[in-house]
Amino acid sequence: MTKTTFDLVVVGGGPGGYVAAIRAAQLGMSVALVERAELGGICLNWGCIPTKALLHSATVLRACREAAHYGVTGAGEARPDLAAMVARSRKVAGRLGQGVAHLMKKNGVTVFAASAKLAGAGRLALDDGNTLSAKHIILATGARARELPALPLGERIWAYRQALVPAEIPKSLLVVGAGAIGAEFASFYRAVGAEVTLIDMTAEILPQEDAEISALARKAFEKQGIRVLTQCAVTSSSLTAAGVKVALDQQGKRSELDVERVIVAAGIVGNVENLGLEQSRVKVEKTHIVTDGLCRTGEPGVYAIGDVAGAPWLAHKASHEAVLCVEAIAGKPAHPIDPLRIPACTYSYPQVASIGMSEARAREHAAKNGGDIRVGKFTFAGNGKAIAMGEDQGLVKTVFDAKSGELLGAHIIHPEASELITGYGVAAALEATEEDLMHTVFAHPTLSETLHESVLSAFGRALHA
């Protein structure tokens, strides 16, 4: 007979949900996980992981094309094998999905392949006929791509799922939305040969990033041949014999663009439907569940984590929330998450990574508090390892409180930015000051030396600038 009473039931098996289940099991709770689709959620199956697999294929392709520059000859003309790239991407996602299933079994988590909705205090009704009971219920149902009325999804107008498994490389492509997802798809499709146009309604691409970094990213994209249009919106679209005709409005200037395919990457909405929230005290605002610092909703015993609980919409934020939520449930010390200590990464070419405040936000914050900031910058053109790698374009930028030396923000644009940002993440978590960072010894030759130099630069002490 299937067990139906647990200490904790988690709804959703993404990077928030499955981590919550594992941590709860480690703490001795009886745990069930309800997942209607694939274990690992969108991130593992249709987001973070398969996109990075495709982007790594693009990196290898780029390296092959530039091999002669590094003294490597005889490789011939490198060409993309799209089917093989997609197959590898799906294999990577499948392997990790199996890994999550193994972790559930290893930790004694009971998995239900079903959908669930709240059915009264401490109860969940599953669409497979089971009713589960638990003192604690965590909602980790994630989010989905926002759809645009002017761009109805179909065979030629794609969301991320279709963009991850193309049958062929489109000759021309419009990417709508220049946030992280749009920038990554623009980079991949340009690398494999598509003529790419990237548009956004805001004044700059990657609008959540520091303005200087965004401007450098735009310049790098345009150098690769990506056409970038900002303050631009789609007003309508229609299918043609060859693809899609899209009507654009760029600050009142109207134009039309004919492309073979369109990718819509215009944000996400939380998966709050069909969860039975209407009959509970759970509050929803702008498609996201409202929670406090310990992930509690307005309904006793019901919690929400990850994308469904709001920004920042990042897998590592979901996993961190999972642990703090479960530990709070178990009565262990738990601290609310600080959004300013969560790194954000865009895996385009070049990559962009950041943590904390942009320069503009830091200046505004300092002005309100009667203070000032110090800004340091160091380009990779002054770094020996970057020059040796042939990747000497990029910038590290750091922002400090002028009086206390607190690290307020850090921003990196470089092909290895996502790996480098963790150094500043550790520093922020440990509340390191500029003195701590300046006295840290960085190995030579490494790219991480740029982190040190940027800190030194903020205080007029850069050695290689």
Check whether residue 359 and residue 454 sit in a common domain. Answer: yes
Domain closes at, from 266, 296, 328? 266
Q: What is the pLDDT of residue 396?
A: 98
CA 412 to chain centre: 15
Residue 184 marked in a binding site: yes
Name the band, by pLDDT with cuts 50, 70 and 90, for residue 156.
Answer: very high
Average pLDDT over residues 77-82: 92
Q: Is residue 275 part of a domain?
A: yes
Check whether residue 108 and residue 175 sit in a common domain. Answer: no
Check whether residue 51 and residue 91 sit in a common domain. Answer: yes
Q: What is the pLDDT of residue 137?
A: 98
Tell me if 32 sits within 8 A of 6, measured CB to CB.
Answer: yes
Average pLDDT over residues 247-272: 96
Check whether residue 249 and residue 391 sit in a common domain. Answer: no
Name the band, by pLDDT with cuts 50, 70 and 90, for residue 77.
Answer: confident
Average pLDDT over residues 342-358: 97
Check whether residue 276 and residue 258 sit in a common domain. Answer: no
Task: Please give the Cα distance from 445 to 307 (Å, whole number).
Answer: 39
Q: Is residue 152 part of a domain?
A: no
Strand order in the sheet with 261-264: 157-158, 261-264, 172-176, 195-199, 227-229
Whether 411 sits among the annotated catalytic residues: the reply is no
SS3 per-residue string spanning the chain: CCCCEEEEEEECCCCCHHHHHHHHHHCCCCEEEECCCCCCHHHHHHCHHHHHHHHHHHHHHHHHHCHHHHCCCCCCCCCCCHHHHHHHHHHHHHHHHHHHHHHHHHCCCEEECCCEEECCCCEEEECCCCEEEEEEEEECCCEEECCECCECCCCCEECHHHHHCCCCCCCEEEEECCCHHHHHHHHHHHHCCCEEEEECCCCCCCCCCCHHHHHHHHHHHHHCCCEEECCEEEEEEEECCCCEEEEEEECCEEEEEEECEEEECCCEEECCCCCCHHHCCCCEECCEECCCCCCECCCCCEEECHHHHCCCCCHHHHHHHHHHHHHHHCCCCCCCCCHHHCCEEECCCCEEEEEECCHHHHHHHHHHCCCCEEEEEEEHHHCHHHHHHCCCCCEEEEEEECCCCEEEEEEEEECCHHHHHHHHHHHHHCCCEHHHHHCCCCCCCCCCHHHHHHHHHHCCCCCCC
Tell me if 280 sits within 8 A of 318, measured CB to CB.
Answer: no
Q: Is residue 246 part of a domain?
A: yes
Residue 182 marked in a binding site: yes
* Mean pLDDT taken over the chain: 95
Q: Which of 316, 444, 452, 464 is catalytic?
A: 444
Domain closes at, from 315, 339, 363? 339
Q: What is the pLDDT of residue 2?
A: 75
For 326-339, the pLDDT digits (tens) are: 999 999 999 999 99
For 369-399, the pLDDT digits (tens) are: 899 999 999 999 999 999 999 999 999 999 9
Tell me if 131 sits within 8 A of 123, measured CB to CB.
Answer: yes
Residue 307 marked in a binding site: yes
Task: Please give the Cα distance from 25 to 21 (Å, whole number).
Answer: 6
Check whether residue 30 and residue 79 sit in a common domain. Answer: yes
State yes or no: pLDDT of 446 exceeds 60.
yes
Closest CA to 408 of 456, 376, 386: 376
Q: What is the pLDDT of residue 1?
A: 54
Residue 178 marked in a binding site: yes
Domain closes at, from 266, 284, 307? 266
CATH number at residue 239: 3.50.50.60
The tally of domains found in the chain comes to 3
Q: What is the pLDDT of residue 76?
A: 65
Check whether residue 53 and residue 133 sit in a common domain. Answer: yes
Name the band, by pLDDT with cuts 50, 70 and 90, for residue 3.
Answer: confident
Q: What is the pTM of this model?
A: 0.95
Beta strands at 351-356 and 407-414: parallel, antiparallel or unpaired: antiparallel
Name the band, by pLDDT with cuts 50, 70 and 90, for residue 73.
Answer: confident
Q: Is residue 194 part of a domain?
A: yes
Q: Is residue 200 part of a domain?
A: yes
Task: Please give the Cα distance from 292 to 305 (Å, whole number).
Answer: 10
Check whether residue 196 and residue 236 sit in a common domain. Answer: yes
Long-range pairs, 218-227, Cβ under 8 A, ≥24 = 220/349, 220/350, 220/393, 220/413, 221/183, 221/186, 221/187, 221/348, 224/187, 224/190, 224/349, 225/190, 225/195, 225/196, 226/186, 226/187, 226/190, 226/196, 226/197, 226/198, 227/195, 227/196, 227/197, 227/198
Other CB atoms within 10 Å distance of the CB of residue 77: 6
Average pLDDT over residues 10-19: 97
Residue 52 marked in a binding site: yes
Residue 331 marked in a binding site: no
Check whether residue 276 and residue 399 sit in a common domain. Answer: no
Tell me if 311 sits within 8 A of 300, measured CB to CB.
Answer: no
**Which residues are 344's β-sheet partners?**
354
Q: What is the pLDDT of residue 337?
A: 93
Check whether residue 298 and residue 400 sit in a common domain. Answer: no
The per-residue b/e assignment along 360-372, b for 16 or more CB within 10 angstroms, e otherwise, is eebbebbeeeeee
For 352-373, the pLDDT digits (tens) are: 999 999 999 999 999 998 999 9
Q: Cα angle vertex 396, ends 442, 52, to 5°?
A: 95
Name the band, by pLDDT with cuts 50, 70 and 90, for residue 155.
Answer: very high
Check whether residue 365 and residue 414 sit in a common domain. Answer: yes
CA Rg value for the chain: 24
Q: What is the pLDDT of residue 262?
A: 98
Tell me if 153 sits within 8 A of 262, measured CB to CB.
Answer: no
- Kindly tell me the burial class for residue 14, based on how many C-beta atoms sit within 10 Å of its own C-beta (0-12, 13-18, 19 or more): buried
Q: Is residue 122 part of a domain?
A: yes
Check whether residue 17 and residue 129 sit in a common domain. Answer: yes
State yes or no: pLDDT of 462 exceeds 80.
yes
Q: What is the pLDDT of residue 440?
A: 96
Domain boundaries, position 407: 350-459
Q: Is residue 199 part of a domain?
A: yes
Q: Is residue 150 part of a domain?
A: no
